[in-house]
Amino acid sequence: MKKKQFMTDNKNKISAVAKLIKESTMTVALTGAGISVESGIDPFRGEKGLWAKYNPEEYAYIDAFYENPAKVWQMLKELLAIIIFSKPNNGHVGLAQLEEMGYLSSIITQNVDGLHQAAGSRNVIEFHGNNRWLLCIECSNRYETDPDIIKNIPPRCECGGILRPDVVFFGEAIPQKAMVKAYANAKSCDVMLVIGTSAIVSPASEIPLVAKDSGAKIIEINPEPTPLTDQVANLTIYEKAGTTIPMIVSELKKKS
């Protein structure tokens, strides 16, 4: 497709999405690692991702953590060092603006970087936990994550117990509260924005299907096609989140 045609198509899609959001009584966003790429945090998959360097079998499973916490902490330290100093980008800010304008009810995020809250979003459901807190595996004491606490790995609690991040490892259940809230939101929304997720990590990948089955329109924002594209999504904008979301916000501002 020629560039000019592509841009016209995208412009038409942005207007269509703004119209859907305007007419919707409840719009929900589901976000994945892609929305944080423009903040300098790469997705785990792909050539620059953590999984290219660390085999997820050895580093991402809860059993692997308990077997060798010091080893898994090497990978966690690398990830946290990036997350601690990252800042929200225009995509995160745009979603916070949509909430502020009354157009977005909640964000269900698979991310563990806290960037939606840093951008000002208030109603954020963290499906896979977050990295802001470290928990003691012995006494459940909580510590805020900062560069000092992860200087020596594995970091330890005052009681001597090893600390873990408050994230969901593979092999662990999704926090009950997040699960219930996410599914309830998916069932009652009439528009779902699916942003920057490859939609292959279950059970998060089922959330757009639940929304669709309940009658919601699914809007996908992702530079690459996913299993949702053409099958589940009513419309896909093949663009970066940081470019697309501010355009939707501007379009909605024009019309209000």
Name the minimum Å distance from CB 167 to ligand NAD.
7
Largest CA distance in the chain: 63
Binding residues vs ligand NAD (CB under 6 A): 32-38, 41, 43-45, 110-113, 128, 196-198, 201, 221-224, 226, 240-242
- Of ligand NAD, Zn ion, none, which one does residue 159 interact with (CB within 5 to 8 Å by kind)? Zn ion
Query: 139 is in the binding site of which of ligand NAD, Zn ion, none (Cβ under 5 to 8 A by kind)?
Result: Zn ion
What are the strands, taking DSSP E only, across 67-155? 106-109, 124-126, 129-136, 142-144
Question: What's the CA gap between 118 and 194, in Å, rounded?
Answer: 20
Whether 128 sits among the annotated catalytic residues: the reply is yes
Q: Which does 219 bind (CB under 5 to 8 A by kind): Zn ion, ligand NAD, none?
A: none
Nearer to Zn ion, 56 or 161 (CB): 161
Q: Which H or E run contains 131?
A: strand 129-136
The rounded distance, in Å, linking the Cα atoms of 49 and 199 is 17
> Which residue among the candidates 13, 92, 128, 240 is catalytic per the annotation?
128
29/135 with CB nearer ligand NAD: 29
**Residue 132: which H helix or E strand, with range?**
strand 129-136
How far is it, in rounded angstroms, from Cα 237 to Cα 220?
Answer: 6
Q: Which is nearer to ligand NAD, 35 or 157 (CB)?
A: 35
Q: State the catalytic residues.
A: 128
